[in-house]
Amino acid sequence: MINLKQSGDKMAEKIVVKNLTKVFGSRPRIAIERLKKGWSKRRILEKTGQTIGVNNVSFSVNEGEIFVIIGLSGSGKSTLIRCFNLLNQPTSGEIWVDGENIVNYDKSKLRKFRQEKMAMVFQQFGLFTHRTVLGNVEYGLEIRKVSKEERRKIALQAIEEVGLKGWEEKMPQELSGGMQQRVGLARALANNPDILLMDEPFSALDPLIRREMQSELLDLQSKLKKTIIFITHDINEAFKLGDRVAVMKGGSIVQIGAPEDILNNPSNEYIEDFVKDIDRTKIVQAKDIMQRANALVSLKDGVRVAIKEMQVNGISSVYVVDKERRIQGIVTIDDCIQADKDGKALKEILKYDYFTTDQEVYIQELIDKAVETKYPIVVVNTENKVLGIIVRTSILTGLLGKKNGTSKEN
């Protein structure tokens, strides 16, 4: 998968985790010593009574990315995310945020860090039942002693961002589960944190609302560019949301990578089993399967140029663009040959019965289009400029998890 957020210049590291371990129990140092000797998590529990929550993990999170941590129950993912705001105090290791090791923070620095730089959204909404939606969203600002006028302004903006404008005076019990979770998200956003921790925030929602919340989170992220650490046990959710995904097992990280990298290059049998039942139609996007549009014709070119372009590339149709590479239409070999005989210009034989798509669209939305159309689907940006094309075989290879071929025909 091409990770657009990380293409080009290397992104700045917002969070760096070094050799982080969390042990639950009264004798954590003994457990650390046993870990260094190669003892298993189970053996340590049986012999010492100490529970290994997180076992010597190291990784970094880039500024502005959604970093998803996924694992089965007991894998250590929720324990790990609570180390980021020190709700779980690490037994050993370091957590660097913007160049400072927060593990060394005193109470004053930690309080300021939690109030201003990092916010958390939980699975259980945790709303105050005696407060309105507005009152819930304002709460963190009240704690920070923000003036009433200012906090109301900020809270109303956050409420609008999550799609709850008009519901400010409602009580939590009047809202659906999805709406309550939106309130929780708005409350976190109101403090304008750099980093957002989300611990299985959508897992209590029904499937339809869950998908809506996933899409809305991506829409919000496109505007707000927060650094998000997201916990889930749902691999489809992980691969839909994550710029990168970390798979955990037994307190350790087994593999980290972009979703497509993990799908196509699992590091071991555990990862192979983990991803084998994934629904690729909801994971693979147009940008992952599109081919470079090498065969294009300019609108100012004549029909003979179009004919030659199709002959050279062994294709029966070619897209026509203007000088800014904006799509104008498509022409076929038969129409061009006839136009050459009739002395017609290229613009006179343009066809428009083709499909365009955004590069972020998932395969599941392209399948019907691919069946209906006679031509390759053209991938365009917001300015209608051609980015690439998608042929039927590309969709098939995307579904099967194979590398793109070089097929030129639809």
From 215, 248, 278, the end of a domain falls on 278
Whether residues 258 and 304 share a domain: the answer is no
Q: Is the model's pLDDT at 6 over the cut of 70?
A: no
Residue-range definition of the domain harbouring residue 72: 4-117+193-278
Q: Are residues 22 and 60 in the same domain?
A: yes
Assign residue 344 the CATH number of its domain: 3.10.580.10
Within-domain flag for 169: no
Q: How many domains are contained in the chain?
A: 2
Least confident residue range of 114-128, 132-146, 233-247: 114-128
29: domain CATH number is 3.40.50.300
Q: How buried is residue 222: exposed, middle or buried, by Cβ count under 10 Å (0-12/13-18/19+)?
A: exposed
pLDDT band at 401, cuts 50/70/90?
A: low
Residue range 126-154: average pLDDT? 91
Phi/psi zone of residue 343: left (φ > 0), alpha (ψ -120 to 50 degrees), beta? left
Please, what sign has the CA dihedral across residues 344, 348, 354, 358? positive
pLDDT at 404 over 80: no
109 pLDDT more than 90 = yes
187: in domain: no
pLDDT (tens digit per residue) in 269-300: 999 998 887 877 777 888 888 988 888 999 88
Q: Is 186 exposed, middle or buried (0-12, 13-18, 19+ CB in 10 A)?
A: buried
Same domain, 266 and 391: no
pLDDT of residue 35: 92
pLDDT-derived band of residue 400, with 50, 70 and 90 as boundaries?
Answer: low
For residue 8, pLDDT over 60 is answered with no
Residue 11 has pLDDT above 90, yes or no: no
For the stretch 203-230, pLDDT in tens is: 888 888 888 899 889 989 988 899 999 9
Judge if 217 and 84 occupy the same domain. yes
Determine the Cα–Cα distance for residues 337 and 343; give it in Å rounded to an integer: 10
The three-class DSSP label of residue 242 is: coil
Residue with tokens 């097929």: 407
Given pLDDT bands bounded at 50, 70 and 90, which one contains residue 174? Answer: very high
Q: By 3-state DSSP, what share of the chain in percent is helix, strand and coil, each rounded to 5?
A: 40, 25, 35
Asked if residue 359 belongs to a domain, the reply is yes
Residue 53 lies in a domain: yes
Same domain membership, residue 365 and residue 292? yes
Q: Please say if the pLDDT value at position 178 is more than 80.
A: yes
Q: Which two tokens stand for residue 15?
A: 């969070």
Pair (232, 265) in one structural domain: yes
Average of per-residue pLDDT values in the chain: 89
**218 and 79 fall within a common domain:** yes
Whether residue 240 sits in one domain with residue 98 = yes
Would you state the pLDDT for residue 403?
47
Tell me if 202 is assigned to some domain.
yes
Taking only the tens place, the pLDDT of each residue in 310-350 is 999 999 999 999 999 999 999 999 999 999 999 999 999 99
pLDDT for residue 285: 84
Return the percentage of the chain with pLDDT > 70, whole number: 93
pLDDT at residue 284, rounded to an integer: 81
Tokens of 53: 């929550």
In this prediction, residues 56-65 reach a mean pLDDT of 96
Task: Assess whether pLDDT exceeds 70 at residue 382.
Answer: yes
Q: For residue 189, give the 3-state DSSP assignment.
A: helix
Domain end call among 278, 309, 339: 278
pTM of the model: 0.76
Q: Is residue 145 part of a domain?
A: no
Q: Write down the pLDDT at residue 402.
A: 53
333 and 242 fall within a common domain: no
Q: Of 278, 304, 329, which marks where a domain is finished? A: 278
One domain, residues 384 and 314:
yes
Mean pLDDT is lowest, of 71-85, 104-118, 204-218, 385-399, for: 385-399
Q: Measured between alpha carbons, how far is 1 from 285 in angstroms, rounded to an integer?
A: 9
Strand (E) or helix (H) holding 257: strand 252-257
Alpha-carbon distance of 178 to 345, in angstroms, equals: 55
Residue 369 lies in a domain: yes
